[in-house]
Amino acid sequence: MRRSNGSGHYYEPLPQYAGGETLEQQNDAMADELKDKVHKLKSLSLDIGDEVKYQDRLLREMDDDFEKTGGFLGNTINRVLRISKGRHNYYVFYLLIFSVVIFIILYIVIKFR
């Protein structure tokens, strides 16, 4: 059945498919599939955002720990340098002897255990 819109153009009816589905039913099915995919994508992007926040917090904590350790190590080195520049240069010599003795004791304990 054809209709005329008055200007001589005719409209064709929507085609029917073998399964009896119309284009509207197919569009509804595809829209539902798209809705499910969008929901999954949203869930995935939220999970990625949570992971990024966790990793950022972890990296900031590590950066703070490294800064604290660097400050502590810098203070220790400054103290050793201050001791070595003082009148009592024997402190560095005593520290060296103490370290050697400790390493020898540890070697003996580990070797004969």
Kindly tell me if the per-residue pLDDT of 88 is higher than 80.
no
Q: Is residue 8 part of a domain?
A: no
* pLDDT over threshold 90, residue 13: no
81 found inside a domain? yes
Q: Which residues of 72-83 are buried (b: 16+ CB within 10 A; e: fewer)?
A: eeeeeeeeeeee
Predicted local confidence at residue 70, as pLDDT: 85
CA–CA distance, 1 with 20 (Å, rounded to integer): 19
61 in a domain, yes or no?
Answer: yes
Residue 24 lies in a domain: yes
Number of domains the chain is built from: 1
Residue 9 lies in a domain: no
The residues, any chain, with a CB within 8 Å of residue 75's CB and separated by 6 or more, are none
Q: Is residue 27 part of a domain?
A: yes
Residue 54 lies in a domain: yes
Confidence band of 18 (pLDDT split at 50, 70, 90):
low
* Average pLDDT of the segment spanning 96-112: 92
